[in-house]
Chains A and B, each alone.
Chain A
Amino acid sequence: MEYGLKPLGREKLWLWLMLVPTIIGLLFGTIGSLLATLTLSFFDWDLIGSPTWAGISNYDALFKNESYMEAFSNTLKFSAMYVPGVVIISLLLAVLLNRKIRGVGIFRTIYFLPTVTSAVATALVWNMIYGRDTGILNFMLESVGMSPICWLCTNNAMLSVVIVNVWGAIGEGMIIFLAGLTAIPRDYYKAAELDGASGFQQFLRVTIPLVTPSIFFQTLIAAINAFQAYDYIYMLTRRSGGDSSVPVAVFSIYRNAFHFFRMGDASAQAIQLAVLVALFMGVMFWWERRYVVYE
C-alpha cells in the first residue's frame, strides 16, 4: 500500500534537504549514542582514563550486582502495576467523558492538568498528601478512626509512587482514547441498540474492538514511560545522600555512570533495559497483527 504522491526530480532534493537536520540528529544523537553505549558496555571506563576492554564481564556482573537487580526488579514491578493502571483507567475515563454532558470540557481539562504541570510541583503536592504526620491522606484515615500509614516509608513507597505516576499519566491516555472513541461511527451503536444490546454489551462488543488501535498505542507508550519513569519517583522517595528508597533501573544507570564512575556497568545496564523494551515491543507488534482492528 502506498499513500500520497511520490516526490519527483528537484522536489526530491528539497525533501532530503529538509530531512537532513532530523537525520543528523538521529545519526549522531540517537543512533550514535546507542552505538557508543553498546561499545562502552564491553569496556571498563571510569570517565577519566582510557577505556579498557572488559569482554562480557560487565554483563556477567549485572546479575551479581545486588543493587542493580533490586533496581531492575523495581522497574518490572512498577511497570506491571503502572501499564495496566494507565491503560484501563484512562480508557474508562475517556468513555465516561465521551458524552454530551454539561461541563465535559471542564472535566477533561481537570484530568489533563497533571500532564502540563511540572513534575517538581506535583511531587511537592503529593508529598503533602502522603505525609505521615501532616498528610491529608492520613488525616482522612484518622478522622474515620483508622491508624495512619507511612505512605512513603520503604514498605509502601512502591504503591504510593505507582499511584502518583498513574494519576499523572491518565490525562494523556484519556486524550488518545477520546480521539479513538470519536472515530467510531455512531451507526454501529445505533445498530447494536436496535439488536437490543445493553450499554455494557455495546462497550464490550463495539467500543473495545474498535479502540484496539488506541489501546495498542497507549500500552506501548505507557510501557516505554514505565521503563523510563524517574522524575516523580525520585522526588517522592529521595533520601539525604541522593539515594532513593525505590531505586529504578534508570536511576541505577545514572548512579553507576556519574556517581560510581562505572561507565561500563552503566552501559551494560542500559543495553539490558533496551533489549527488554525491544522484546516487549516485539510482543506488542505481534499482538497488534493478531488483534488490533484497523478500519
Chain B
Amino acid sequence: MKNRIATILILVLIAALLLSACGSSKPTSSGPVEITFMMWGAPEEQTVWQAVVDDFQAANPNIKVNVEVSDWDSYWTKLNTLFAGGTPPDVFAMDAPLYLDWQSRGALLNLQPYIDANPGFLDGFYPQTLMAYKLDDGYYGLPRDFQTITLFYNKDMFDAAGMAYPTADWTYDDLLSASKQLTLDKDNDGKTDQYGLWTDTWDMELFWSELIWANGGEIISPDHTKTLIAEGGARDAWTYIDTLYKEGIMPTPATAGEYGGDLFQSGQAAMTTIGHWAVPGYVASNINFGVAPMPKGPKGAATSVNSAGFVISKDSKNHDAAFAFIKFALSEAGQKRLAELGFAIPVLKSVAESDAYLKQPGDLDQQVFLDSLAFAHMKPVFKGYEEWAGVVGDGLIPVWDGEADLNTALDAVVPSADEILANNK
C-alpha cells in the first residue's frame, strides 16, 4: 500500500514537472517587438527576404522579424500545425487560390482599417493583382508579387531546325505545327529524343486555363457552384491537349515524370508555357531561351495571372508591427529587392516598369510578362480549390496516359468537381 502511494506521488511529480515545462510561456519583455514571417520558397529566396528584413529592421529598430522559409509542401503542413496549436506566425505568405480557404476559416486579419489609415497605399499596385484579395468588407491579404504565364522557347532548337521564333501573333495552330516539327527522334530508335512542347496539364495554371479562355470557355461559374470545364469552347481546349499527347508532341505525365518533371529545363523540349518563377532555374541550367506571349485562340489572346501575397493572422498579438512589415515589403524599396530575386514580378507598377525589374541580368525580354497583363484572366479563387483541382487533374491523367477516353473522363469529372464545390459552400 505504501509503495502504491509512493508510486502515485512520483507519477504526479513527474507529470507536474512535464506540464510546467510545457506551459512555461515566452517571457514578456518590454523591449523590441518580435514578429515571425513564414513563407514557402527556395533557399536563395531566404537570402533576399533576409535583405528585405534587414532594411526593414534598420528603419524600425524596435521591431525584430524572424523569417522562416520552408518548401511548398511542408509549408502548408507546418502552417496548419501552428494554427491548430494556437501559435500562428504573425505574417505569412499566401497563394491566391488558397486565400478563401483561409479567410473563410477566420484565420486572417482584415487589413482594411490599416489600408484606410494609409491613403493612397494601393494606388501604385497593378489592379489585376489586387482583385484576388478584395472581398466585400475589405482586403484580408495583399499581393506581394505576381506571375503571368508566357510561352518559353529554346532558341538553339529553333535555330537547329531553321525555324523562326514564336511571335506575339502566334495562334494555337502555329504552336501545334511548330511543336510537331520540333518533335524529333534523332537516333531513329523509335523513341522521341526531343519533344516540341512540355507543360503541366494537371493544374490549370500553366496551360489548360489559358487554352480554355482562348477558346471562349470558362472554368467555373461566377458564384462558384458550377464547373464549366466541359462546356462549349472548353471541350475544344481539351481536345487540343488530347491531340498533343496522342501525337506524341508532348510527353505524357508518366513519361515526363521519368525525366524529372520539367523537360524544358533538362533540354528535352523545345517549348513550354510557364511563369517567371522558372527563369532562374532555366538560366542556371544554361538553357538558351526566349519568351513570347501565349498563343491566340479562336476567341483571341488569353493568359493567366496569379499572385502570392501577405496575410496577417487574426490571432497575432502584434498586428501593428506585422502591418508595418508588410507595408515596407510592398514599398518601392522592398519591391526593388524582390525584383532582384528574379523569381517573380513586382506588384508595384513603378518598380515593375523600372530598370530594377526590366534590366535584370541576361537578355530576356521582361516586357512580355508585363504586356501579358493586358489579356490576362485571374486564376480563379474559390473555396475548396485544392480538392477541386485534385479531382479534375487526377480524373484526366488516365486520358493523357492513354488509358481512358477524353469525353468519358470529362463527363465523370464534372459532377465530382461540382460536389466538392457544393461541400465547400
Q: Which positions in A face B, CB cutoff 8 Å?
A: 9, 12-13, 16-17, 20, 23-24, 46-49, 66-67, 127, 131-135, 150, 152-155, 239-243, 245, 258-261, 263
Contacts and interface: CB of A to CB of B under 8 A. Distances in A.
A24 B18 contact: yes
A20 B105 contact: no
B394 A239 contact: yes
Given A20-B14, A48-B83, A150-B254, A243 B393 contact: yes
Given A153-B398, A245-B397, A49 B106 contact: yes
Nearest to A150: B254
Contacts of A134: 258
Interface stretch (B72-80, B123-131, B346-354): B72-80
A13 B4 CA distance: 8
Given A47-B83, A47-B84, A132-B255, A16 B398 contact: no
Contact of A243 (B15, B77, B394, B404): B394
Contacts of B169: none
B401 interface: yes
16 contacts: A9-B3, A13-B7, A16-B7, A20-B10, A24-B15, A49-B106, A66-B416, A66-B419, A67-B391, A131-B258, A133-B191, A150-B401, A153-B398, A240-B393, A243-B393, A263-B84
Given A48-B83, A153-B254, 12 more contacts: A23-B11, A48-B84, A49-B105, A132-B255, A150-B254, A154-B403, A239-B394, A240-B253, A243-B393, A243-B394, A259-B387, A260-B386
Given A154-B398, A261-B101, A24 B14 contact: yes
B389 interface: yes
B145 interface: no
Nearest to A156: B403
Interface in B226-261: 252-255, 257-258, 261
Contacts of B115: none
A259 B386 contact: yes
B184 interface: no
B279 interface: no
Contact of B80 (A17, A47, A154, A245): A47
A241 B107 CA distance: 24
Given A46-B105, A132-B254, A150-B254, A240 B403 contact: no
B389 A241 contact: yes
Interface in B1-40: 3, 6-7, 10-11, 14-15, 18
A241 B258 contact: no
A13 B3 contact: yes
B298 interface: no
B200 A13 contact: no
In the complex, which range does the number of interface residues on chain B fall in? 35 or more
B80 A258 contact: yes
B389 to A, nearest CB: 6
Among B390, B402, B416, B419, chain A packs the most CB atoms within 10 A around the CB of B390
B393 A239 contact: yes
Nearest to B392: A241
B41 to A, nearest CB: 17
B54 interface: no
Contacts of B402: 150, 153
A154 B101 CA distance: 30
B402 to A, nearest CB: 8
Contact of A239 (B7, B14, B15, B397): B397
A154 B83 contact: no
Contacts of B191: 133
Nearest to A131: B258
B81 to A, nearest CB: 8
Contacts of B202: 239-241
B421 to A, nearest CB: 13
A153 B386 contact: no
A153 B101 contact: no
Nearest to B7: A16
B203 interface: yes
A23 B18 CA distance: 13
Contacts of A47: 80, 83-84, 105
Contact of A241 (B101, B393, B416): B393
B387 A133 contact: no
Contacts of A239: 202, 253, 393-394, 397
A84 B129 CA distance: 56
B76 A48 contact: no
Contacts of A133: 191, 255, 258
A48 B254 contact: no
Contacts of B255: 132-133
A124 to B, nearest CB: 11
A22 to B, nearest CB: 12
B77 A258 contact: yes
Report the 6 A-B pairs with minimum CB-CB distance, sorted nearest first: A240-B202, A131-B258, A47-B84, A153-B401, A154-B398, A48-B105
